[in-house]
Amino acid sequence: MKEPTTTTTARESESESDGHSLCKDIPNLLSSFVETFVDFSVSGLFLLPKHPPNPLSSSSSSSSSSPSSLPPLRTRYPPVDRLIALGDLHGDLDKTKQSLRLSGLIDASDRWVGGPTTLVQIGDVLDRGGDEIKILYFLEKLKREAAKYGGNVICMNGNHEIMNIEGDFRFATKEGLEEFRAWAHWYSIGNQMKALSQGLDKPCDPFHGIPFVFRGIKEDIVEGVRARIAALRPRGPLSVRFLSENVTVVVVGESVFVHGGLLPEHVSIGLERMNEEVRDWIRGELKGKLTRAPRYCRGRDAVVWLRNFSHESASKCDCSALEHVLSTIPGAKRMIMGHTIQQLGINSVCDDRAIRIDVGMSRGCINGLPEVLEIRGNSQPRILTSNPLYQNKYKSTSSDNPLVLLPEHGHAGPKPVQVKA
């Protein structure tokens, strides 16, 4: 019998090695398939999974308090050719898409067409509406699409993100709780599918430690409440995946973005430090294992709660404190914030150095007409609005129009048409 040649043996060995390698990849391929299946079932979107270090993995120590090994969140960006600032969304996916079309960032098929534009969403995606999870997924989709064209989507934490991570659901709606209940259903199915595959870590139960009964909570929403806790608490699947990637303060060119506002004591803590500590808290990695947010995210003077520069009357805004804060941030000329609904629409105080962009557009707020802030290069900001009453008055409805200065709040100007929520 003829002995196999060395070449044949080597080929067989290489083929066998390739087979072993393929077999080793099967569990990860299955995991990716399951995650894509769950994402589509929850959001209707296909998103290829990303696999950063996950504190929910059973191979991670639940008692670990070491700082995150992820790269630092970016806090400062150079000026960009075009920047769009989008206010509070509060669970209203339709208004979100209307605002993005108004900005020229998405087309009729919801695809990114904004090229190298930078979008900053100021926070408060959560509460008051029924499309909270869908918006989180949609913004993630846009992040990936924008990156292909040199664009950028920056998402921020608002006070309602902080509240929900802490388990404060006072502003959650019945529709919102149902959306989380449906998420938990599909997420659990995905975990069951993964558990059947050898070679994968056993999925952790996101409901571990969550009671089945809550005093004062009606039985018909208990499942939704449990699902919301499981998803959004520190180390929760949705809080880790989406909210831990949000920044709490960011500087783009001459503009400082923050949900509520910044005081001198916040700047002294350090903008980068605040972003890192909030991220680590959401991921369950903040030193000291705090269940509550860092101190600068709690209380009336918190960065996500402050209203010192958002009062309806311009004379009651603390312009001297604002000036001091901006002088301590290199290159900063203005602060852009959300949080406090501006019934007259986007406006400015303190000589255009404080710009308020929360127009209450969600149906869960005042159902305001969509508006966004646009900044081109180092030009003065202007407003893009869907309100025809502002045509050729205070606000610009076209990027081709000459600059229109922002109206000071309290000055004469048409009031947006509002529909009772």
**Distance from first CA to last CA of the chain, Å, rounded?**
87
CB-CB contact of 164 with 228 (8 Å): yes
CA angle 126, 140, 98 (to 5 degrees): 65
**DSSP letter for each residue of 148-169:** HTT-EEEEB--HHHHHHHTT--
Beta-carbon contacts of 10 under 8 Å, excluding residues fewer than 6 positions away, are: none
Whose structure tokens read 């990156």?
A: 147
The continuous run of DSSP H or E covering 252 comes out as strand 249-252
Task: State the Cα angle at 294 between 293 and 295, rounded to 5°.
Answer: 110
Give 50-59's long-range contacts (Cβ < 8 A, gap of 24+): 54/240, 55/235, 55/240, 55/283, 55/284, 55/285, 56/203, 56/204, 56/206, 56/235, 56/237, 56/240, 57/201, 57/204, 58/201, 58/202, 58/203, 58/204, 59/201
The alpha carbon dihedral of 175, 181, 185, 186 has a sign of: positive
Active site residues: 160
The strands making up 255-258's β-sheet, listed across from edge to edge, are: 76-77, 249-252, 255-258, 334-337, 354-356, 347-349
Compute the C-alpha angle 234/237/243, nearest 5°: 65
Would you state the structure tokens that stand for residue 82, as one six-digit string? 């075009």
51-58: long-range contacts (C-beta < 8 A, 24 or more apart)? 54/240, 55/235, 55/240, 55/283, 55/284, 55/285, 56/203, 56/204, 56/206, 56/235, 56/237, 56/240, 57/201, 57/204, 58/201, 58/202, 58/203, 58/204
How many Cβ atoms from other residues are within 10 Å of residue 84's Cβ?
Answer: 23
CB neighbour class for 98 (10 Å; exposed up to 12, middle 13-18, buried from 19): middle
Q: Which amino acid is at 106?
A: I
